[in-house]
Structure 1
């Protein structure tokens, strides 16, 4: 089976943080159709607005060969499909494959002979061939590697990062046959200036993606545990890490809250598959337990600091600066800042949340939080710096402390302030 890139027509399924930048980049070079089931998302993109802030209005104003649709039938005009839907976990941390299933069912209805389907969503090794492909075959009546082909190319988008953009991040690729793998690699190589890395199989590419974030998760868990140990020793964690960092091969990880849709989720896909195969992961799950409980540890430190200053938690006023899962990003999915909010509120405190990056309607719909647009100065018993947004950096220590009463606690989760500028920090 031969492939002709000059006749390629790309369809991107899912236009979120991953799919939209990909569709925009491909649209500069090839006929590209961006598909999303949310009609409101399609409407905003057609109006030149991206609520994820990953693509500028200027880029959306000059779309090249890119168009948008929420009509699945329009996808029939494409022959190279890329799936970029979310892969979350349930409340008990089991993979939720519904978005993948729905996307595969949608494509199964529009697939034609010689088409290619590439998945970018983070999954456990084997998911593409064991879960997605059977759906494609069932709904299309076609057979993999005879009538159509599949591939996997893990996404590496870093939301809010304006330096590491899609073209400048090396892309891992794979395909269901050697010829398909070569073609898929050449398609990505045509837009990725950093180059590509073609793996021998889809399963290798899937595994490579899931361990990228698992490795980060385990390393952050280590420094989180170190922070808890050093706190009991009366040693400043940041000073220890800076000293250790003078050695050339010391990895520069910092303690913190691990949320979001990648690092806080992806390890569970790997451990789920491992447990299916009869192996119970120990280090990975231990790291997950540490990181999932850091918000409780932070909250307990805040309460201890309050009591030390004679501030009673009941009926106190607390300001949490930041709700997004990371700095300079409007994404609240799986944010651990909400765990701090809820834990402090459970002590009877009135907790206000201020985040200039977050849409108040989304925060209320997702977490029931009523955002505070402009906190009042001098009114809070506690101010918690939970996210290192640029706006909070620009405030400086004086600006952050100005929200507090004369006697108040300033707790810094993100090392935005120096050790002497806050009462305590992670």
Structure 2
């Protein structure tokens, strides 16, 4: 078959944690690549070699041959469209496919016979062919599976993790037929050093992606439930897990908050589809309930400890360290730290938030929370380490306690310090 680098010109829609590294990777592999995002300010920043998410270096942007655009006219003339837009959930915890549908409508006027559309967004089995396909066909006037070729290759990006980058993780690929699958493989193979795995169907690949994070969600829910039990027994959960971990087949999961754009969201895509088919998932939803309530549990444990120390919660001041959904990352999507703040407010606790990674304006806009840039030492009744940023690790327990009044509570929910260094651990 013809060399795809000579035949195909590629547009990547969505320049976040998924789309931007892919855009740069494709350009490095020699493809004529356009990175597209509707956020004009983000695109302009990329043109100035700045990634506001901090995932891509200035040098990578400066040296790339990729172009960036926010106007849909720039999509004209492209033969391959890779969609990497977010797939969030609604307030009712059902799939919100509006960004995906909007991306399909944006590229539809620019599709020409033979165009290939690859979806990378996380979806439930059937979305690529049953939702995206009809939108593309109707809006373009082209025949689906004939003039428009469909494929699915789920993203496996882990924000803040340089070790497991896009190039170093096996890429699942799938397509409507073998010929299209060969074309997809020829696009990704030069980019992903770890290789590609050919799934037998698009739905198989969609299902594989959605269960990856569902499995992790359930494993974390299990140890979170251990933590709920052990706190009532007066046991340190991390000590129990350390002892159990001496057995060769004990899985090394730890309790914690489960937020972000994947683990806390993807299971709802699978359960939504299952319920459409008349099956009510019990285990998956039970795990979700546990994980969704851990932020409130953390806040209540802190309030109980304040009361034990004869501190009136309604007059207490607490410094919450970290708001991103995970360490060394600026992403605040679906962060469960917000639940901690909400629950503390219900107890009339005054909480200050500090996180050197997040954008204060974005946090204020999305969550209505003010980020304290420089918390003052000596003024807090409790210091709650909610996110294990390297900055907090380097500070250590003594420096963190300096933010508090004498006898202040240090609550290390991530267990980044030893048991004797903190007053509470999850």
> So what's the TM-score if we normalise by structure 1?
0.98
Q: In the alignment, is residue 228 of structure 1 matched against residue 203 of structure 2?
A: no
Aligned length: 425
Q: Tell me the alpha carbon deviations over residues 346-377 of structure 1, each in whole angstroms, 9 at most, x when there is no partner.
A: 21121100000011111100111111111111
CA distance in 2, matches of 1:294, 1:146: 49
Q: In the alignment, is residue 40 of structure 1 matched against residue 41 of structure 2?
A: yes
CA distance in 2, matches of 1:4, 1:147: 18
Shift of the 155–246 alpha-carbon distance from structure 1 to 2, 3 Å rule, reads same
Match of 2:298 in 1: 298
CA distance in 2, matches of 1:340, 1:351: 10
| Shift, 1:146, TM fit | 1.3
CA distance in 2, matches of 1:358, 1:159: 13
CA distance in 2, matches of 1:96, 1:404: 42
Match of 2:360 in 1: 360
Q: Tell me the alpha carbon deviations over residues 50-73 of structure 1, each in whole angstroms, 9 at most, x when there is no partner.
A: 001110001011012x00011112
Deviation larger for 236-245 or 326-335: 236-245
Q: State whether residues 3 and 183 of structure 1, in contact with CA within 8 Å, keep that contact through their aligned partners in structure 2.
A: no
Q: State whether residues 124 and 207 of structure 2, in contact with CA within 8 Å, keep that contact through their aligned partners in structure 1.
A: yes
- Local SS of the residue matching 2:106: helix
CA distance in 2, matches of 1:3, 1:21: 23
Q: State whether residues 171 and 197 of structure 2, in contact with CA within 8 Å, keep that contact through their aligned partners in structure 1.
A: yes
Deviation larger for 386-395 or 246-255: 246-255
CA distance in 2, matches of 1:23, 1:402: 45
Superposed CA RMSD: 1.1
| Shift, 1:2, TM fit | 7.4
- Local SS of the residue matching 1:247: coil
Matches within 5 A, 1:164-175: 164-175=164-175
| Shift, 1:3, TM fit | 7.6
- Local SS of the residue matching 2:410: strand
Q: State whether residues 5 and 31 of structure 2, in contact with CA within 8 Å, keep that contact through their aligned partners in structure 1.
A: no
- Local SS of the residue matching 1:420: helix
Q: Tell me the alpha carbon deviations over residues 320-371 of structure 1, each in whole angstroms, 9 at most, x when there is no partner.
A: 0000000000011100011101111221121100000011111100111111
- Local SS of the residue matching 1:109: helix
Match of 1:78 in 2: 78
CA distance in 2, matches of 1:328, 1:373: 17
Match of 2:196 in 1: 196
Runs ≥4 residues deviating over 6 A:
none
CA distance in 1, matches of 2:86, 2:202: 19
| Shift, 1:391, TM fit | 0.1
CA distance in 2, matches of 1:2, 1:95: 39
CA distance in 1, matches of 2:246, 2:181: 43
Q: Tell me the alpha carbon deviations over residues 83-127 of structure 1, each in whole angstroms, 9 at most, x when there is no partner.
A: 000000011101101000100111111100111000000000000
CA distance in 2, matches of 1:4, 1:240: 54
Match of 2:218 in 1: 218
| Shift, 1:5, TM fit | 4.0
Q: State whether residues 4 and 186 of structure 2, in contact with CA within 8 Å, keep that contact through their aligned partners in structure 1.
A: no
Match of 2:63 in 1: 62
Matches within 5 A, 1:278-289: 278-289=278-289
CA distance in 1, matches of 2:110, 2:247: 56
CA distance in 1, matches of 2:260, 2:413: 16
Match of 1:322 in 2: 322
